[in-house]
Chains A and B, each alone.
Chain A
Amino acid sequence: MTAVSSEVNAAVAIAARDVVKSLKSVGSLVFSLAFPLIFVGLMGETIAQNMGAGLGYNYLQFMLIGMAVNTLFQVTIAGIMNLVEDRQNDFTQEMYVAPISRYAIIFGKILGSSCTSLFQLAGLILIALVLGISLGGWSFVRLLVLSPLICLSGGALGTLLVGVVHDQKTAQIGTPMVVFPQMFLSGAMIPVNHSSGVLAWLAHIMPMTYVVDLTRAVFYWGEPQYHNVVLYSPALDVAVVIAFFCVFSVLGVWLFVRAETNR
């Protein structure tokens, strides 16, 4: 095997481990469906019925897109954060002594958790179909095409987190502090067009805001409600997503390697 194919092979093996693990834990896979069911089925339906009339677009579809991005983004972050659990269980040692780069390990984790997040996306689609929410036909296919980018951006943020969080206790407290503000302030579930003050500022610095906005731009492209749901130009979204992907992933891997070897 050449050096490059060896690195790719290792990353695929690491990713496959995550996929096999998630397929083996059927219970948690089924349980994960409860999350979109509560948010889309209960919260989404309630907001749609009571406040969605004057919005000028189908709120449930709007929320479904946000939930799809949220699922891909957050599940990928959680997958990368499993490295903290692996570290606690001494499994990371096996990966660290292998003759592969740390980038291959991180890339494998991003790939594996991205695949796992797709299982959960499938669950979300299933729930949407059961609830009778329109998926939007080809527009949803465009969203699926964008899904690798969404997963990569979530993976980059996860890499940064794993670079600074070194124990499971901190991860358990810290991860929700990163996940929940993004879920509520990025516009994934609740429109943020009219946010002001601190909330608007927070929405601007949330990486997921730009990922959600880019996804909606792709989904609603050419639709009359485009300007009601999209905040920024897609070019700006792409630029910001690429910028934070590069910064977070490079900084995250550097911190991760440093924390492991320079004790």
Chain B
Amino acid sequence: MEPLIAVEDLVKQYRKAKQPAVKGISFQVQPGEFFALLGPNGAGKTTTISILTTTLAKTSGQVRIAGYDLDTEAKRVRQNIGIIFQNPSLDLTLSAEENIRLHACLYGLYPYRPWYRLMPAEYRRRVSELAEMVGLGDHLFKRLKTFSGGMKRKLEIIRSLMHRPRVLFLDEPTSGLDAVSRHSLWQYLREIRDREEMTVFLTTHYLDEAETADTVCIVNHGRIEMMGTPVELKHRLLDRSMVVDAADRAALKRELSALGLSFVEESEGFQVRYSEETPQSILCRLQTRLTKLKVVDATLEEAYIRLVTGGTAGGDGV
């Protein structure tokens, strides 16, 4: 299958910078994939997404999106992508619907009409369908000055989906939102992704948002540090562990030592680390009666911190 996004040896050198912001990165995104680009501030995430969305010229490298070359077919690329920017790009003096109408006309979807009622029925149907989906049905004709941050983001989702893009770029879409708004926004995004069978390209600082990604790509200092599924990254970067305890602690300790397992005694029991084995295979070999068993599931955030700090902070798997 042809990848929806194909990036090869992408380089970006800003005019006034000493070092390139992006130093020859390559990756592919398949149709329908949820791809998360992670990295600390200044890693090159926004530069990469700006190049992919045609708002910034690259220095060198090849980029193809939806089968179109970024250099020679930029308009075709733009027709096939939707973007939710890091900072909302809405006109606050217009109503929500007026912002959507402007977008639809910029994309050549419908002929411009000065009033909503004069717009084609298909436009009105699509707007109300998407507005109902994100819960903005009653706010379409209100001025944006009255909208909360979460509502503005929802409006941007409607707008970005109007032209049915094949790939949706989300550049830190929840930055500045409270926990409730973040949660509901992701609920809508998941629903939309399933319904519209869309490829999603995400950059975020909230690593829990990337836990459900198909592929996570971690960039640092303009280079790709690691790429794979969240589970692969966690396995590669972190020791897996389980916590066991017994009424007869001394016996359990002797047994763990005899089995040659790597463990640390803590107040809540023994933290046993493993890499090749599974919790089940370890349990099968233990004879001491256990009073506690906890399999620790490492988070992507722990793996990420381990990677970007070079293993100096966090990431101990507990």
Contact B15 A263 (CB under 8 A): yes
In chain A between 1 and 44, which residues have their CB closer than 8 angstroms to a CB of chain B?
1, 5-6, 9-10, 12-14, 16-17, 20-21, 24-25
CB <8 Å contact, A9 and B89: no
- Interfacial chain A residues near B83, Cβ < 8 Å: 93, 97
B78 pairs with A9, CB closer than 8 A: no
B204-241 vs A, Cβ < 8 Å mask (1 yes, 0 no): 00000000000000000000000000000000000000
**Closest A residue, CB atoms, query B113:** A16
Pair count A-B, CB < 8 A: 86
Contact B93 A13 (CB under 8 A): no
Indicate whether B55 reaches chain A with its CB closer than 8 angstroms: yes
How many positions in chain B have a CB within 8 Å of any CB in the partner chain? 33
Task: Look across to chain B and name the residue whose beta carbon is closest to the beta carbon of A257.
Answer: B57
Q: How many A residues face the partner with a CB closer than 8 A?
A: 31
B94 touches A (CB below 8 Å)? yes
Q: Once the chains bind, are A9 and B94 in contact (CB under 8 Å)?
A: no
Across the interface, do A97 and B55 meet the contact criterion of CB distance under 8 Å?
A: yes
Q: Give the residues in chain B near A99, CB-CB below 8 Å.
A: 75-76, 78-79, 107-108
DSSP majority for the A interface? helix
Name the contact of B114 in the complex, choosing from A9, A16, A97 (C-beta under 8 A): A16
Q: Is the CB of B106 within 8 A of A16?
A: no
Residues of B within 8 A of A101 (CB): 75
Whether a CB of chain A sits under 8 angstroms from the CB of B91 is yes
- Whether A98 is near chain B, meaning CB under 8 Å from some CB there, is yes
The contact string, 1 if C-beta is below 8 Å from chain A, for chain B 43-54, is 000000000011
**B12's closest neighbor in chain A, by CB?**
A263
Among residues 206 to 229 in chain A, which have CB atoms less than 8 Å away from a CB atom of chain B?
Answer: none
Which of B56, B76, B89 touches A90 (beta carbons < 8 Å)?
B89
B78:A16 contact, CB within 8 angstroms: no
Whether A12 contacts B108 in the complex (CB less than 8 A), given A90-B85, A90-B89, comes out as no
Contact partner of B106 (CB less than 8 A), chosen from A10, A20, A261, is A10
Contact at A21–B91, with CB atoms within 8 Å? yes
Shortest CB distance B10–A (Å): 15
User: Nearest residue in B to A12 (C-beta to C-beta)?
Assistant: B112
A92 to B50: give the CA distance in the assembly, Å.
13
Contact partner, B108, options A1, A20, A25, Cβ 8 Å? A1
- Does A95 make an interface contact (CB < 8 A)? yes
A93 is contacted by which of B14, B89, B92, B101 (Cβ under 8 Å)?
B89
Q: Are A13 and B85 in contact (CB under 8 A)?
A: no
Given A9, A14, A17, A90, which contacts B87 in the complex, CB threshold below 8 Å? A90
| Residue contact A17 to B91, C-beta cutoff 8 Å | yes
Contact assessment for A97 and B78 in the assembled complex, using a CB-CB cutoff below 8 Å: yes
Is chain B's binding surface mostly helix, strand, loop or mixed? loop
Shortest C-beta distance, A8 to chain B (Å), equals 9
Which residues in chain B, 68-123, are within 8 Å of chain A measured between CB atoms? 75-76, 78-79, 81, 83, 85, 87-94, 98, 101-103, 105-108, 111-112, 114
> A91, B105: Cβ atoms under 8 Å?
no
Given the known interface contacts A24-B93, A99-B75, the answer about A6 and B108 at a Cβ–Cβ threshold of 8 Å is yes
Tell me if A167 is interfacial: C-beta within 8 Å of chain B: no
- Give the CA-CA distance A16 to B89 in the complex, in Å: 18
Find chain A residues with CB under 8 A from B85 CB.
90, 93
Q: Does A262 contact B (CB under 8 A)?
A: yes
Taking CB atoms, residues of chain B closer than 8 Å to A9 are: 105, 108, 111-112
A9 and B56 alpha carbons, distance in the complex (Å): 25
Report chain A residues within 8 Å CB of B108: 1, 5-6, 9-10, 99-100
Provided the pairs A1-B111, A17-B102 are in contact, do residues A93 and B91 lie with their beta carbons within 8 angstroms? no
Which A residues lie within 8 Å of B93 (CB)? 21, 24-25
Chain B residues contacting A262 (CB-CB under 8 Å) are 15, 57
Known contacts A12-B105, A21-B91, A93-B55: does B78 contact A98 (CB below 8 Å)?
yes
Closest A residue to B163 by beta carbon equals: A99
Query: How far does the Cβ of A233 sit from chain B's closest Cβ, in whole Å?
Result: 41
Please indicate the chain B residues that have their CB under 8 angstroms from the CB of A184 in the complex.
Answer: none
Chain A 251-263, CB-CB to B under 8 Å as 1, else 0, gives 0000000001111
Query: Smallest distance from the beta carbon of A77 to chain B beta carbons, Å?
Result: 20
Partner of B101, one of A13, A97, A98, A100: A13
Across the A-B interface, the 6 shortest Cβ-Cβ residue pairs: A6-B108, A13-B105, A98-B106, A99-B78, A261-B57, A93-B89
- Mind listing 25 A-B residue pairs with CB under 8 Å? A1-B111, A5-B108, A9-B111, A20-B94, A21-B94, A24-B93, A89-B92, A90-B87, A90-B88, A90-B89, A91-B91, A93-B55, A94-B89, A94-B90, A97-B53, A97-B81, A98-B78, A99-B78, A99-B108, A100-B108, A260-B55, A261-B56, A261-B57, A262-B15, A263-B14
10 further A-B contacts with Cβ under 8 Å, apart from A10-B108, A261-B57, are A13-B101, A16-B112, A92-B89, A97-B53, A97-B78, A98-B103, A98-B107, A99-B108, A100-B108, A262-B15
